[in-house]
Structure 1
Amino acid sequence: MNSGTQKKIVVGVDGSESSKCALRWALKQAALTGAVVQAVTSWEFPAFYSWEGGPMPPDDFEQAAQKSLDDTVDEIELEPGPAVPIQRELTHAHAAQALLDAAADADLLVVGSRGHGSFYGALLGSVSQRCAQHANCPVVIVRH
């Protein structure tokens, strides 16, 4: 739990509709509890990428993730709703580990039920499932 006086809600953002719903939910909860929201996006090199070269230069992966984070937060901030501070964090890591690390001192972790993963029939994605099993704080999984 957050040992400071400011409450913190960490929310996973990957540009998917599910993560946008999670961010909206986190903002409403933050308005009720006086918390700050930390929107976290992570990026990794895809499995098919090699150091000899791939479809995109290495910096492009990070830039694409930053754009996704910024576009998503900017979109949600324009919607009517509570004015809550949103901190943005971009991390080079697996999504679940990035969220677990960011939420190590958080009061709450909020994730969408399923993001941009490939197994669309699942009720829970692998990231949300791992967060629910391993987070040090309560986890809310928001369904789209």
Structure 2
Amino acid sequence: MNNHLIVVGVDGSDGSRRALEWAAGEAAGRDTAVRAVMAWYWDGIEADVLTATSPDEQRRQAGRVLDRQVQAVKAAQGSHLPIAADLVEGSPADVLTAAARGADLLVLGSHGHGRLHHSVLGSVSEAVIRKATCPVVVIPTPVPVSTPE
């Protein structure tokens, strides 16, 4: 690592928590900073009308999710590793690739959606991989271990 920065995409999901945990583990013991970045935007259509009634409320909710996820990872790791948290307005792929310019790594969590979900809704991970100027690490969704009956 040359630039001493790992950028992590955070969205409140279990996948992004795993990505943030992995990045914090990578940074531990090195002279490397971790920057958790959460993209948010308001289009008035896709927002959850029951909870976000304005762009300001959407931003506040996203900020709470980001802070909660960063604090949970810090507590779980028992680490004093500083994790910067940035809330940026814009589309996730654009925000994350811009934030990672000059970074050593960009880390994302997989949501583990199937092929149908991907073809209908697209994939932030795929868009980021195509646009990124640094290596991208995608932390996979754990596969449940089945036990014989």
Q: TM range, normalised to the smaller chain?
A: 0.7 to 0.9
Matched, 1:105 2:98: no
* RMSD (Å), alpha carbons: 2.6
Indicate yes or no: 2:114 matched with 1:121.
yes
Measured after TM superposition, the shift of residue 136 of structure 1 is: 0.6
In the alignment, the residues of structure 1 paired with residue 67 and residue 75 of structure 2 have an alpha-carbon distance, to the nearest angstrom, of: 12
Structure 1 residue 97 displacement after superposition: 0.6
> What letter matches 2:41 in structure 1?
E
Percent identical among aligned pairs is: 40
How does 1:1-144 map onto structure 2 within 5 Å?
Answer: 7-46=4-43, 48=45, 56-114=53-111, 120-122=113-115, 126-144=123-141
Decide whether the 8 Å contact of 1:45 with 1:61 is kept in 2: yes
Query: Runs of 5+ in structure 1 lacking a partner?
Result: 50-54
User: Hey, what's the Cα distance between the residues in 2 that align with 1:133 and 1:121?
Assistant: 20
Give the letter for the 2:127 counterpart.
Answer: R
After superposition, the C-alpha distances for 1:29-72 in whole angstroms (9 at most, x for unaligned) are 111432100000010114617xxxxx602210100110010011
**Does structure 2 retain, via aligned residues, the 8 Å contact 1:28–1:82?**
no
Query: How many aligned residue pairs are there?
Result: 134
* 5+ residue gaps, structure 2: 47-51, 142-149
Q: TM-score, normalised by structure 1?
A: 0.82
Task: Tell me the SS of whatever aligns to 2:59.
Answer: helix
User: Where do 4+ consecutive residues of structure 1 move more than 3 Å?
Assistant: 122-125
Letter of the structure 1 residue corresponding to residue 53 of structure 2:
M
Q: Flag the structure with larger Rg.
A: 2
* Superposed CA offset, 1:122-144 (max 9, x none): 49761111111221111100013
